[in-house]
Amino acid sequence: MIKKRIVVLASGGGTDLQSIIDAWQNGEINGDIVGVISNNPGAYALERARLAGIKAVSVDYKSYGSVGEYNEELLRELKVLSPDLIVLAGYIKILPGEITREYTNRIINIHPALIPSFCGEGWYGIHVHEGVKASGVKLTGATVHFVDELADHGAIILQESVPVYYEDTPEEIQSRVLEIEHKMLPKAVALFCEDRLEVIGSRVKVK
């Protein structure tokens, strides 16, 4: 089986990215991470890429006069890297239709909640876990899904749950969810690279 070319988009510290790098270096993923792109030039995710010998690309959102110009440059960089799979690992920008259509069923995202709860525009980072705590739910978790033109939407690949305790702070919930994120995301990448994910309508069959 030909190895898949993987590009990761990240905006921050890159712990989810590191989980993929670790799995890749351990031979658990039948693919090669050919690039990491960040909208934030100061993102530690870029340093993680460099330390692993992966091409690190900064497309600074603030350097462009409009969202359209930024998205055009992002698409150009993606085409240069020619990915089979794009992974959003803590990437906080919503991808435009030009990119999601170009890479239909080849973009996956991880969201720190059980979609369709606590998701969509504005639901990212600690805001998700603050919402979870305020709601009183007893379970939360993480979701890996294919990306379409809507925020935190698209066919669900994997979901796992964790308990929410009354005494939890949002930060404690976040930490618990991150633990499962770091297992789920590499697993989803590995399944994609083994051609074991089939999108049927709005559902994903794991073969």
Nearest to 184 by CA among 32, 25, 15: 15
Per DSSP, 61 falls in state G
Q: How far apart are CA 196 and CA 205, in angstroms?
A: 8
Sheet harboring 139-146: ordered strands across? 56-58, 31-38, 4-9, 85-88, 107-111, 139-146, 156-163, 203-206, 197-200
Which residues are annotated as catalytic? 111
Q: How far apart are CA 17 and CA 143, in angstroms?
A: 16
User: Does residue 141 contact residue 161 with C-beta atoms inside 8 Å?
Assistant: yes
How would you class 72 by CB atoms within 10 Å of its CB: exposed for 0-12, middle for 13-18, buried for 19 or more?
middle
Residue type, 33: I
Backbone angles phi, psi at 41, to 5 degrees: -60, -20
